Each structure stands twice: as structure tokens, then as C-alpha cells.
Amino acid sequence: MFDNWEELENSLKECKRCKLCTNRTNIVFGTGNKQASIMFIGEGPGADEDLQGEPFVGKAGKLMNMAFDALAINRKEVYIANIVKCRPPGNRNPEQDEATACLDYLRNQVILVKPKIIVLLGSVALKNILGQEYGITASRGKWIEKRGIWYMPTWHPAALLRDETKKIDFIKDLKLVIEKYKQILNN
């Protein structure tokens, strides 16, 4: 574990801990406010993210931005990262060995950001952060508190592209996040 961002970011350069290193263009480390109260965790980079080196800049990211706009969340105020930092080929889900190899980096990011709230975007984020026993359909929209952090599992933004009703859920879940954030600020 590193106690500063520079050392952590340096430790990732040239990372070959898992086989996803072979096809990547860029490592997608994470972006946003390094002292954010709210952190968003996705799955892994897609094609656009791989090319630009930033999370959620493609189609799924655009949807997320629309939700942020609707709820007056400033994207720059939150911190956004993924379970794996290199693009899985063909946008498949990260395999367990890849997620396990990469998770130390994300844990270190969480330790440095110290968020009060973590939004888990989809099943891969949920299972790797809270445990394989969790399912996204049953868990979404419900708070889970662990070691002083409030977790809100919700749909992955890419799922919203396929199913309109999930957009409504997504906005609802993010509303809960804002409410909780305001509560925390007032305490």
C-alpha cells in the first residue's frame, strides 16, 4: 500500500500483473476529486476509455453524465475508477484472476480518497467489492454499510442502454446517494 498518489500511480506504470496488460493502449487509473465524499466504481475500460486513458468517456459514460446533469452532480467532484484498469478484450467481463490481480490498486485508491459513499456500478463491481454472494438485481437501491462506508449498488450504465426501466432505477438510486450525502454533511 502506498500513502500517496504519486507512488501509487507510478507503481501501476508498466503493470503486468495480469494478462490484460497484453492488449491495452492505456492503463485507466481513475479520475476526479481525490478527496471526494462519493466514489463510483465501474467494471473496466471499454474501447474509448482504453484509447483516452480515462474511465467512462464512451457511450456508458455519456449516459452517466446525463444522469449526473439531471441530478446536479458535478462529475469533477466525485472520484471514478474501475475494478480492472486495462481493457478486457471485446469488452468481456474481467475474469476472476484479473480482478483479483488488480484489486489492490483500487483498494489503495479507496484508502487515499476516504469516500463516505461508494456507488457500485453493476454486478462485477458489487461482487468484487462486497462479495460473490451479492446479486445486483436483489441488492440495487439498498444501502449496505461496512466499516464506516455506505455502499449503494446500482445498475451499470451500459445496462441502461439496453433497458429503459433501468434508467428510472438508476436515477432513483443516485437520488438516494445525494440524500445520504446531504445527511452526512449535516452531521
Residue 178: strand, helix, or coil: helix
Among 84, 136, 158, 177, binds ligand SF4 (CB under 6 A): 84
Asked if 21 is part of the footprint of ligand SF4 (rule: CB under 6 A), the reply reads yes
Among 50, 54, 98, 173, binds ligand SF4 (CB under 6 A): 98
Which partner from the list ligand URA, ligand SF4, none does 67 bind, CB cut-off 5 to 8 Å by kind? Answer: none
Q: Which residue is nearest to ligand URA (CB)?
A: 42
Distance CA 71, CA 25 (A): 33
CA dihedral 64, 94, 84, 67 (to 10 degrees): 10
Distance CA 151, CA 48 (A): 27
Q: At what angle do helices 96-113 and 5-12 cross, to 10 degrees?
A: 160
Beta bridge partners of 82: 42
Residues in Cβ contact with 145 at an 8 Å cutoff, skipping those fewer than 6 apart: 151
Closest distance between ligand SF4 and the C-beta of residue 15, in Å?
A: 3
Closest by Cα among 68, 69, 66, 46 to 56 = 46
Asked if 102 is part of the footprint of ligand SF4 (rule: CB under 6 A), the reply reads yes
Closest distance between ligand URA and the C-beta of residue 51, in Å?
A: 12
Asked if 86 is part of the footprint of ligand SF4 (rule: CB under 6 A), the reply reads yes
Among 40, 81, 85, 124, binds ligand SF4 (CB under 6 A): 85
Residue 151: strand, helix, or coil: strand
Asked if 93 is part of the footprint of ligand SF4 (rule: CB under 6 A), the reply reads no
Asked if 91 is part of the footprint of ligand SF4 (rule: CB under 6 A), the reply reads no
Written as one letter, the residue type at 12 is L
Which partner from the list ligand SF4, ligand URA, none does 41 bind, CB cut-off 5 to 8 Å by kind? Answer: none
- Note the residues at the interface with ligand SF4 (CB under 6 A): 12, 15-18, 20-21, 27, 84-86, 98, 101-102
